[in-house]
Structure 1
Amino acid sequence: MTRVEQVMQAIRQRIAARLLPSGAKLPSIRSFAEIMATSKSTVVDAYDRLAAEGLIQSRRGSGFFVAGHLAPLTLAEIGPKLDHAIDPLWVSRTSLDANDGMLKPGCGWLPASWMPEDGIRRALRALARSNSSTLTDYASPLGLQPLRQLLSRRLGEHGIEVSTNQIMLTDSGTQAIDLLCRFLIEPGDTVIVDDPCYFNFHALLKAHRANVVSVPYTPNGPDIELFAQALKSHCPRLYISNSALQNPTGAALSPLTAHRILKLAELHNLSIVEDDIFADFEHEPAPRLAAFDGLNQVVHIGSFSKSISASLRCGFIAARQDWINGLIDLRIATSFGGNRMGAELVLFMLKEGGYRKHMDGLRTQLARSMGDTITRLKALDIVPWNEPRGGMLLWCRLPDGIDAAEIAKYGLEKGVVFAPGNVFSQSQTANSYMRFNVAQCGNSRIFDVLSEAIAVQATSANA
């Protein structure tokens, strides 16, 4: 873009992000010229063009103001415009809309054939025989009490002491984070995320107009020195992370790092959301921040989308009692009642002995797939960043000079959905990395396409 177009784009993005709402005054020509490191005449030209488009209006002697009504929130317009290959929202759409013929080594869920279908069918038959209130009535805002009692016992196995009334069911882990963002932050507040981290964290925080700051992630958790610097420099309100089988790296938080994070959180009055969606995939439990903290500044969330069924949409929030009371009101305001049938199905699955047997077999199956996938990737000079202690996700470095976004573009042409590293990176510094789902890597065509894509890039670089 020309310099004038760059200034215009910067104003459009501020309006799309609602940093400049309807009627707001734009920065002065002098100040915005300094911000954009350009001339005042360039800003004058840009403002005149935006006024001609009707996006802003000039008021003699007062400056320029945003015209019209508040624009609909468009997440894709917030922040820099990304290529489709590394746009998290576009990659998510592609994975969710992909037909059965598409291969999806970049998605974050298990193949349907790996899920406990027989147990789900038994649960559905049992639910069909339930009383009419179970099938038709609204659920309590807290959610099904027997399931919350069971969750309390399960959390206790990880050292998280929590009463039934400190647990609120949600329709998913994503809804849990959305409610907590509504509850804990205001537009403009700073939120810390890992780099790399689950890409939907980025999208959700955009929707809440948060200022996102990322901290590099290590095999033991966030880089603690840089984490401390970020807290001191940015005064964040919230930190969102996984403590076990972090997405996308598969790494686990060490006890030492966990203790240091909590000390810093206490010092800086930082709230923490601990996303534990992969809890049942661990071979050996990692430390939980919520266990060390006692649910004082840490909120613990989970879901059964990965282990039982993504169709059920059942998750939960475990938090201190006074926060749960506030979250109940938000839950009523945004969705009124909960998903009662989904909760009943999850309860049936967890109480039935087949679930533990299913997860035992699934962990074994995933470990085998992890080994096979690592072997096949190493043959292409694609090296794991670490070897996870469980789960389905593998974070890998590509051969020198190979761009993951270009691999993703080539893959789409061949019917393969990959997950390039910068989809997960707020700082956009992971272009040489890629996330693989080992459960979705059973088809040899995936590795053939990878090999072809690497060869094409290497040939282009040498030309």
Structure 2
Amino acid sequence: MLLTDQLGRTEAVADGIRQRIAARVLAPGARIPSVRAQAEAMGVSKSTVVEAYERLAAEGAIVSRPGSGFYVAGKTRPLCLKAMGPELDRAVDPLWLARQSALAGSTMMMPGGGNLPEAWLPDDAVRRGLRAVARAETAIVTRYDQPQGFPPLRALIARRGAEKGVVASPDQIVLVDSATQALDLIARFLLQPGDTVLVDDPCYFNFVALLRAQRATVIGVPMTTEGPDLTALAALLAKHRPRFYLTNSALQNPTGTSLLPATAHRILRLCEAHETLVVEDEIFGDLEPDAAPRLAGFDGFERVIQIGGFSKTLTAAARCGWIALRPDWVEPLVDLKLALSLGNGHVCAALAHGLLTDGSYRRTLAETRRRLAGAMAQVARDLSECGLRIWAEPRGGYFLWMRLTDGRDAADVARRALTRNMLLAPGVVFSPSGGWQDFLRFNVGHCADPQVMKSLRAVLG
């Protein structure tokens, strides 16, 4: 064996241990595999493992206890989410994408962004709503909210859910500060470290980051143009016995697909057979022209928990989210919410309620859907002319999931776009398995701007 080969194998052994320590798979004081076991597991010689362990000991990562073995040294290190997933270029990894979206100035072009253009959102209505809240009774702007959240908004969410076939009483709804916090609470409520969770592959990138922060093992269910691959879902449920399956029924992010009734029924039957819960993200539901079937509607909240929020259609600056779940879980979930935050934002809940009931929201939604439908058709044609192929025709919303047809890596395209002040969203950041490397997610609201499309053609050319 060449010396360089030996050094490479030694570093591979050492780096594997480093990553497991960084991801807290191996905690301080944990015994690491014996030299013999590690050599057999990695298919290397025992001398290679000995050298790797000596290197780690010299770094202070592990300590040797004569006659006992090797153990992780030191105190608990800060959690490193990057170490818990596939190795990605930091320039295009999911959390980098989230930061860049939040920090983007007015000159940054956002064809890969996750929100509608600011000009499409009801900012005048939000300003009126804020003034109305400021004139409301003193308790709205000074006190903590009720433990479950602002009762009028919970009642309104229940009525709006019923319009989509989801029957829940206001007492089954818990308000939170965002849909992201809703998922965080659910993960804390249901999961123990090491539990398995299934997500779509591809899925919204922050699903994976949030679940890994809860020490969950995240496994992707391959997506098809008609929803999750049901054969693969059945196999994964049988093999891993996951605690829950997290998915979008309507306008899935990033593919834009929505479930058919038969698919929704089959998902529920499979999850019931394997005692797996379902968490249904409803964040894009209001953008559907016609409501797709909801898992919570078929299930009646026996096995399904539904979460949602209003950042995609009202404003992301005053966030408000909600959780709908079975009645006997409401009180313990509220206890957890209070332990973590003492409640949700009363002002934001009152603002959301006012915006949803002043008569303008339905008109705004109708106009937004109309604009999106026109932009969807035009942008799909424009991107096809740039050498991309649409993966599935969305029922609505603002995402197009497009494949590069020339064999290029979408991450390379995204890096090139950054040099031109443009943020793209390559497929790999949405994939828990690190796949979909030749795909890009496009936001048709931003791509409808002729200047953005002109620059996009230059990047893709």
By the TM > 0.5 criterion, same fold? yes
Partner in structure 2 of residue 327 of structure 1: 333
The equivalences for 1:61-72 within 5 A come to 61-72=67-78
Report whether the alignment pairs 1:88 with 2:94. Answer: yes
Give the counterpart of 1:200 among 174, 189, 206.
Answer: 206
Match of 2:171 among 165, 172, 175: 165
Corresponding residue for 2:31? 25
SS in 1 for 2:246: strand
CA distance in 1, matches of 2:206, 2:159: 29
SS of the residue corresponding to residue 69 of structure 1 reads coil
**Out of 105, 111, 120, which is 1:105 matched to?**
111
- 1:159-184 Cα deviation digits (max 9, x unpaired): 11111110000100000001101111
1:28-177 equivalences in 2 (<5 Å): 28-177=34-183
Structure 2: how far apart are the matches of 1:405 and 1:449? 17
Runs of 5+ in structure 2 lacking a partner?
A: 1-6
**Aligned 8 A contact 2:185 2:336 in 1:** yes
Q: What displacement does 1:448 show?
A: 4.0
Counterpart-to-counterpart distance in 2, 1:26 and 1:215: 31
Given that 1:142 and 1:168 are in contact with CA atoms closer than 8 Å, whether structure 2 keeps it comes out as yes
Aligned to 2:379: 373
Tell whether 2:191 aligns with 1:185.
Answer: yes
Residue-by-residue CA offset, 1:230-282 (whole Å, 9 max, x unaligned) = 11111111100000000000000111111111111111000110001011100
- Mapped partners of 1:132, 1:64: distance in 2: 62
The residue correspondences of 1:297-376 to structure 2 (distance < 5 A) are 297-376=303-382
- Name whichever of 427-436 and 143-152 sits farther off: 427-436
CA contact (8 A) 1:172 1:316 kept: yes
Report SS of the residue matched to 2:289. coil
Supply the distance in 2 between the matched residues of 1:34 and 1:358 (Cα, whole angstroms). 63
Q: In the comparison of the two structures, how many residue pairs are matched?
A: 455
Looking at structure 2, the residues matched to 428 and 72 of structure 1 have their Cα atoms a distance apart, in angstroms, of 24
Residue from 398, 405, 412 that aligns with 1:399? 405
1:219 Cα deviation after fit: 2.1
For residue 52 of structure 1, report the CA deviation from its aligned partner: 0.8
- Structure 2 residue aligned with 1:243: 249
The residue number in structure 2 matching 1:458 is none
For residues 254 and 41 of structure 1, the distance between their equivalents in structure 2, rounded to whole angstroms, comes to 56
Q: Percent identity?
A: 51
Whole-angstrom distance in 1 between the partners of 2:251 and 2:182: 19
Moved more, 81-90 or 1-10: 1-10
Report the TM-score when normalising by structure 2: 0.96
Deviation digits for residues 168-208 of structure 1, max 9, x if unmatched?
A: 00100000001101111111111111111111011011101
Aligned residues of 2:398 and 2:445 also touching (Cα < 8 A): yes
Q: 2:92, 2:216 → 1: CA distance?
A: 20
**Structure-1-length-normalised TM-score:** 0.96
- From the superposition, tell whether residues 218 and 62 of structure 1 become closer, same or farther in structure 2 (CA, over 3 Å): same
- Where 2:273 maps in the other structure, the secondary structure is helix
**In structure 2, what is the equivalent of residue 291 of structure 1?**
297
Equivalent in 258, 276, 281 of residue 287 of structure 2: 281
| Superposed structure 1 runs of 4+ greater than 6 Å apart | none
Per the alignment, residue 387 of structure 1 pairs with 393
* Structure 1 counterpart of 2:245, one-letter code: Y
Which residue pairs with 2:438 in the alignment? 432
For structure 1, the residue ranges without an aligned partner over 5 or more in a row are 456-463
2:104 partner letter: A
Query: What root-mean-square deviation, in Å, do the aligned CA atoms of Structure 1 and Structure 2 show?
Result: 1.3
